[in-house]
Amino acid sequence: MQFTYQISEVKQIILAEGNIINNDLISVLLTDSRRIVSATGSLFFALSSRRNGHEFVINAYNAGVRNFVINSLPEAPMPDANFLLVGDVLLALQTLAAHHRQRFDIPVIGITGSNGKTIVKEWLYQLLCPEKHIVRNPKSYNSQIGVPLSVWQLNSTHEMGIFEAGISTTHEMDRLQAVIKPTIGILTHMGTAHDEGFRDRDEKISEKLKLFRESELLIYNYETLLDHKVEIENIKCFTWSRKFKIADLYVFSETTISGRYYLRALFKDDEIECLIPYRDEASVENAIICWATMLAMGYSPDIADDRIERLTAVSMRLELKQGINNCSVIDDSYNSDIQSLEIALNFLDQQNQYPKKTLILSDIYQSGVEQPVLYEQVAHMISSKHIHRFIAVGEALGQNKQHFTLPEMHFYKDTQALIDALPKLNLHDETILIKGSRAFEFERVSRLLVQKAHETVLEINLNSVINNLNFYRLKLQPGVKIMAMVKAFSYGSGTFEIANVLQYNKIDYLAVAYTDEGVELREAGITVPIMILNPEPLAFDKLTSNKLEPSIYSFGLFDEFIKYAQEAELINYPIHLKIDSGMHRLGFESTEIDALCDLLEINTYVRVQSVFSHLAASDAAQHDEFTMQQISVFDSAVKQIENTLGYNVIKHISNTSGITRWPNAQYDMVRLGIGLYGVDAAVPAELTDLRPVATLRTTVSQVKKVLAADTIGYNRNGSLTADGKIATVRIGYADGYRRAFGNGVGRMLVNGKLAPTVGNISMDMCMLDVTGIEVKEGDEVIVFNDTLRIEQLAKEIGTIPYEILTNVSERVKRVYFYE
Ligand SMILES: *Cc1c(COP(=O)(O)O)cnc(C)c1O
């Protein structure tokens, strides 16, 4: 059923050069050597945007892959592999997917827009799957790489495809159009997101419309395309509107009924209605789009209403949370299909914090594949992911037991049976993936396994961490390494959670401030080299037994370490030498280099792994002359040291803003700190592709009416200028929301509106002026995120973003997620 292509056929399709050694059959396309499920049948695309491309090729080869699309032959000999040589590997991937797409004469819905693509896609899937076996993008795989991989899933059992396409700049949509070739198009909400990549909103809309070039039907909001009518004049259109009667679906009445949203509209001169189980603005708009689509496709208003009423929430997020009994829990309890299972399993596989891994999995519905085949596939996928314990829930899994061979297995007929058995299972010190189809209500399981969070949470977007890492990678000259600074709890963002992501993404080095921080990473299974910036002599034992590498910044420390090394009989232990080139904090001064070299010449206990220095003002133009001087001081110190040693060391001086502003000072490595977390003082926030990693959110505990004459909080410092209302929220200075934010200095986002603080900040809570804002108890409040940025907060209280980030106290639970 899975389509296969002979590699010789692929070669012709993508117009590649190269010799075919064995005419293998290809069924799987790979772009990431860390995600190999079965090597036979896999074709690996070595995408050049990824650094270490050739390293990934070698990894894939070692894992058994023998077919590659590549733009230059690897140096290492791999005589039994097929290499298809092309100029543009990404284009080859897209060309192959486009060819595959052409073999299917089925309706394909193509979705684009700036917001709501994934929700609309998932909802349409829910709405249309009763009749049709549908293929769609997993999660929000809508990029230049994600779309071809999604379309490649098409096979002869599918009766419909629903694919979303995301673009961030011009010329990208033509390529995605060729791959998706939608017969039906949907344009979702057009907001201002990703405006950077376009001249203006019109250019952005025109680019997106290219997806529909060959579509037979287009569904869109009437107002959005008033200025773009010519571009779509050849397409049959179905419009919806809340303002214009001329639209095919004219929504003229909207009211809330007991938490749901009731819409009335005119359609073909009839009055029709629809009840939506959500009432927030975005969900309502997305639901209207789905409604319009169903009507445009010929569904009756009754069926549309009936199904829309039963739409369920779509969670595209994979959340990593702290569990009970010292467990990590990956919570993906909202839906289950084979593609998203694979994504979740990969995330589980990335976790190193506990040797033991457990998978809790429910039956998978609507796969369109015969059960035995499906579960054999599932079993095969699971077998490569280092899972120790398999907990299966559902009758289908029970009936297909025989396919699974894992060290420990439990089968339960339903969720309740699992819940009853949980105490006996004695889950502790392990990483648990919870993955269930909607109907199994696995949130009941996750509620029992996840530590209850006090309602203030720091959310860390792991996609953004990777995005930021790649953002800086693209700025590096070939071969330059990256040391990621994960000191101070990764600038407040987490320990092993961040380190796992970095290690998985092939970071060269990590650095922390103190030995204990390094030990914690080693205990969590982090194996990459780790530099300790400030090693304490009392902890040298711990340091060396954990293979941590000290930074040596003074003669005193050098002596102590050599003495220790002598006693411990170390040979060539890696150390890092820190030069003080002008910061005047730690390091050997230029006048001390001669003496340092004398010491280095006679010692065999240590080996100098790297020599580095730190820039005091790499982000500030007014200090550029000073920075240049620092670089030159460093340069001559390094030369002298290398001459003495007779071997080359890794040289590094640039921190985040150094990477951005001093491309000539990259040397062999850069030390990436705050940029990883989405902040770079050297570039204005609105002009970069960096993404803030953290969102700090809390909730409203109470809303009160207050009079102008009332005072609010300790010392009666706060009051409103007129009668109004305040909200008490669950965050205070003990959580890291500094007292300096009090009395109107700080602001938070309450239901999308900025609300200033009133009165003093208390230890565990504070009050906001929410006069004129619709708010109730339990509502969410944003302290900072990608709109209300930490740069802004820092400015308000006269500090720097570093301090805002690292201040968030450990009492605030961290939740990590992948989209
Ligand atoms: C913290 C630190 C960095 C990272 O600085 P950023 O400005 O956060 O990039 C680099 N080098 C040293 C020595 C540091 O202590």
Nearest to 163 by CA among 208, 99, 120: 120
pLDDT digits (tens, 9 = 90+) for 676-733: 999 998 887 666 789 999 999 999 999 999 999 999 999 999 999 999 999 999 999 9
Q: Which residues of 321-350 are buried (b: 16+ CB within 10 A; e: fewer)?
A: bbbeeebbbbbbbbbbbebbbbbbbbbbbb
Long-range contacts of range 264-268, CB-CB < 8 Å, 24 or more positions apart? 267/295, 267/301
Q: Which domains are present in the chain?
A: 5-89 (3.40.1390.10), 104-309 (3.40.1190.10), 318-452 (3.90.190.20), 459-687 (3.20.20.10), 694-818 (2.40.37.10)
Ligand 1 pocket test, candidate residues 615, 671, 683, most atoms within 8 A of CB: 671
pLDDT digits (tens, 9 = 90+) for 217-253: 999 999 999 999 999 999 999 999 999 999 999 999 9
Whole-angstrom distance, CA of residue 340 vs CA of residue 346: 10
CA–centroid distance, 485 to ligand 1, in Å, is 6
Nearest to 772 by CA among 708, 718, 711, 723: 723
Q: 3-class SS at 218? A: strand
Contact predicate 85/17, CB 8 Å: yes
Whole-angstrom distance, CA of residue 473 vs CA of residue 605: 34
Q: How far apart are the first and last CA of the chain?
A: 30
pLDDT digits (tens, 9 = 90+) for 11-40: 999 999 999 999 999 999 998 887 777 888
Instruction: Return the half-sphere exposure (C-beta side, CA atoms, 13 A cut-off) of residue 479.
Output: 4
CA 232 from chain centre, in angstroms, equals: 35
Residues making up the binding site: 585, 763
Q: Which residues are catalytic?
A: 487, 714
Whole-angstrom distance, CA of residue 254 vs CA of residue 601: 81
- C-alpha angle 630/631/634, rounded to 5°? 85
CA–centroid distance, 594 to ligand 1, in Å, is 27
User: Is it the case that residue 745 has pLDDT exceeding 60?
Assistant: yes
Ligand 1 atom showing the smallest separation from residue 672 Cα: 9
Residues making up the binding site for substrate: 585, 763
Instruction: Specify the residue with its C-alpha closest to ligand 1, atom 6.
Output: 673
Neighbours of 464 (CB within 10 A): 22
Share of the chain above pLDDT 90, in %: 81
Contact predicate 634/653, CB 8 Å: yes
pLDDT digits (tens, 9 = 90+) for 448-477: 999 876 689 999 999 999 999 999 998 999
Instruction: Specify the residue with its C-alpha closest to ligand 1, atom 12.
Output: 614
pLDDT digits (tens, 9 = 90+) for 541-551: 999 999 999 99
Instruction: Specify the residue with its C-alpha closest to ligand 1, atom 10.
Output: 655
Give the E-state strand segments of 528-687 in sequence order: 530-532, 548-552, 573-579, 606-613, 650-652, 669-672
Q: What is the largest CA-CA distance in the chain?
A: 94
pLDDT digits (tens, 9 = 90+) for 288-304: 999 999 999 999 999 99
CA–centroid distance, 672 to ligand 1, in Å, is 7
Nearest to 45 by CA among 102, 98, 99, 97: 97
How many residues comprise the chain? Answer: 819
Ligand 1 atom showing the smallest separation from residue 487 Cα: 1
- Torsions phi, psi for 159 (to 5 deg): -110, -10
CA–centroid distance, 484 to ligand 1, in Å, is 9
Ligand 1 residue neighbourhood (C-beta within 6 Å): 485, 533, 614, 655-656, 671-675
Ligand 1 pocket test, candidate residues 614, 619, 661, 662, most atoms within 8 A of CB: 614
Contact predicate 620/667, CB 8 Å: no
User: Is it the case that residue 54 has pLDDT exceeding 90?
Assistant: no
Ligand 1 pocket test, candidate residues 512, 655, 804, most atoms within 8 A of CB: 655
- Torsions phi, psi for 599 (to 5 deg): -65, -40
